[in-house]
Amino acid sequence: MFKQFISTIPGADLYMVGSFLMFFTFFLLVGLYLAFADKRHLRQMGNLPLDDSTDA
């Protein structure tokens, strides 16, 4: 059924390839950001909800 629905949309293959590329690019960029981000800053942000100090 899904195949029949997709085959009626003109250019559906371009939409599927484009959405896959956007999905892949987004997660690749997030992965690169996490790989090259400052680990000390990430640790500090990760511990922020657990921090009891009231430095405002």
Structure confidence at residue 28 (pLDDT): 98
Note the maximum CA span of the chain.
Answer: 60
- Closest by CA to 7, choosing from 16, 30, 33, 26, is 16
Query: What length does the chain have?
Result: 56
Residuewise pLDDT in 10s, the chain (56 residues): 667 777 787 887 888 899 999 999 999 999 999 999 999 998 998 888 877 776 65
Would the pTM of this model clear 0.95, i.e. be above it?
A: no
Structure confidence at residue 10 (pLDDT): 84
Return the residue matching tokens 């640790």.
Answer: 43
Structure confidence at residue 30 (pLDDT): 97
The ranges assigned to domains in the chain are 17-48
